[in-house]
């Protein structure tokens, strides 16, 4: 299934395994809630709702459950599992393998923003093929290796750049709010995602921390140009979206 067709997603942050709470990271699920989020899996917070920890307009009612098995019994069964953690180095913790294999067996696509590419893992690929599901590695760059050419912005177009001295300090959230405010004011505006969470939210962009440094400038120039010309890629336009094929793909 293409990722833009997934609309019922369970976000996994921690799950209880082997009788112990696997404390992988702090809860990250609420920060990437979307209109399709059906539940957050966090064994250290359940039972609860997202609204018990953070105000997320329209999604505060989303349940927090302790396990994948509980998520599979929610009113609307999820069709995908989003790996909602950000471990050091973007590596997939070994303790997650059993959960991913169970999710695949249950017929769920897997969405990952890690540097560990699921589609490079023979065991996960074989299981996904057998189950007829897709592994979505949103942090795998795709496209041409290009450097910037000094392209001029289109007439009347303005670009707002968010920079910060650390991660998770609100750069993306501010940009999304500015985009929404501009649209409410009647302006044409687009958010250009340069990280995995933004790509998951918007469905397109480029994971610049996974792009060879020589080509970061050209990659960003290209996606900014695309946003200027079209506002944002059209839903279903696979050329403009991140790769999600299950087969092993070549690096950027």
Q: Which of 137, 152, 179 is the last residue of a domain?
A: 137
* Over residues 169-197, mean pLDDT: 93
CA distance 29 to 11: 6
Same domain, 113 and 144: no
Same domain, 117 and 196: no
pLDDT of residue 232: 52
Distances (CA, A) of 55 to 35, 36, 49, 114, 169: 14, 17, 10, 26, 17
pLDDT of residue 151: 92
pTM greater than the 0.85 cutoff: no
pLDDT of residue 235: 44
Q: Which of 26-30, 52-56, 108-112 has the highest mean pLDDT?
A: 108-112
User: Which residues have C-beta within 8 Å of that of residue 164, sequence separation ≥ 6?
Assistant: 170, 171
Same domain, 175 and 236: yes
- Report yes or no on 127 lying in a domain: yes
pLDDT of residue 18: 42
Q: Which of 107, 137, 167 is the last residue of a domain?
A: 137
pLDDT digits (tens, 9 = 90+) for 201-240: 888 899 999 999 999 999 999 999 999 987 654 444 433 3
Please tell me the least confidently modeled range out of 85-89, 145-149, 206-210, 223-227.
85-89
Instruction: Please provide the average confidence, as pLDDT, over all residues in the chain.
Output: 81
Same domain, 55 and 117: yes
- Report yes or no on 250 lying in a domain: no
Please tell me the least confidently modeled range out of 27-31, 185-189, 207-211.
27-31
**45: pLDDT strictly greater than 80:** yes
Same domain, 154 and 234: yes
Same domain, 145 and 129: no
Q: For residue 245, name the pLDDT band (cuts at 50, 70, 90).
A: very low
The percent of residues in the chain predicted with pLDDT above 70, rounded, is 79
- Report yes or no on 248 lying in a domain: no
* Over residues 145-171, mean pLDDT: 91
Domain count, the chain: 2
Same domain, 56 and 73: yes
pLDDT of residue 184: 95
- Higher pLDDT among residues 234 and 144, named by residue: 144
């Amino acid at each position: 299934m293409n990722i833009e067709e997934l609309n019922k997603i369970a976000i996994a942050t921690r799950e209880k395994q082997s009788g112990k709470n696997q404390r992988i990271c702090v809860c990250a699920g609420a920060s990437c809630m979307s209109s399709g989020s059906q539940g957050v899996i966090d064994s250290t917070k359940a039972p609860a709702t997202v609204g018990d920890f953070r105000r997320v307009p329209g999604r505060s009612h989303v349940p927090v459950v302790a396990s994948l098995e509980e998520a599979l019994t929610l009113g609307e069964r999820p069709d995908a599992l989003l790996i909602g953690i950000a471990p050091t180095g973007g590596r997939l913790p070994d303790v997650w393998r059993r959960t991913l294999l169970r999710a695949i067996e249950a017929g769920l696509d897997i969405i990952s923003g890690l540097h560990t590419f699921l589609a490079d893992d023979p065991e996960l690929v074989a299981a996904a093929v057998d189950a007829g599901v897709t592994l979505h590695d949103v942090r795998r760059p795709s496209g041409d290796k290009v450097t910037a050419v000094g392209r001029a912005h289109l007439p009347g177009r303005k670009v707002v750049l968010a920079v910060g001295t650390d991660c998770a300090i609100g750069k993306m959230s501010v940009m999304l709010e500015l985009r929404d405010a501009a649209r409410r004011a009647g302006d044409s505006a687009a958010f250009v995602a340069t990280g995995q969470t933004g790509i998951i939210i918007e469905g397109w962009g480029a994971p610049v921390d996974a792009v060879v440094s020589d080509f970061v400038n050209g990659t960003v120039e290209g996606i900014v140009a695309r946003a200027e010309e079209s506002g944002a890629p059209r839903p279903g336009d696979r050329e403009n979206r991140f790769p999600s094929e299950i087969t092993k793909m070549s690096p950027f």
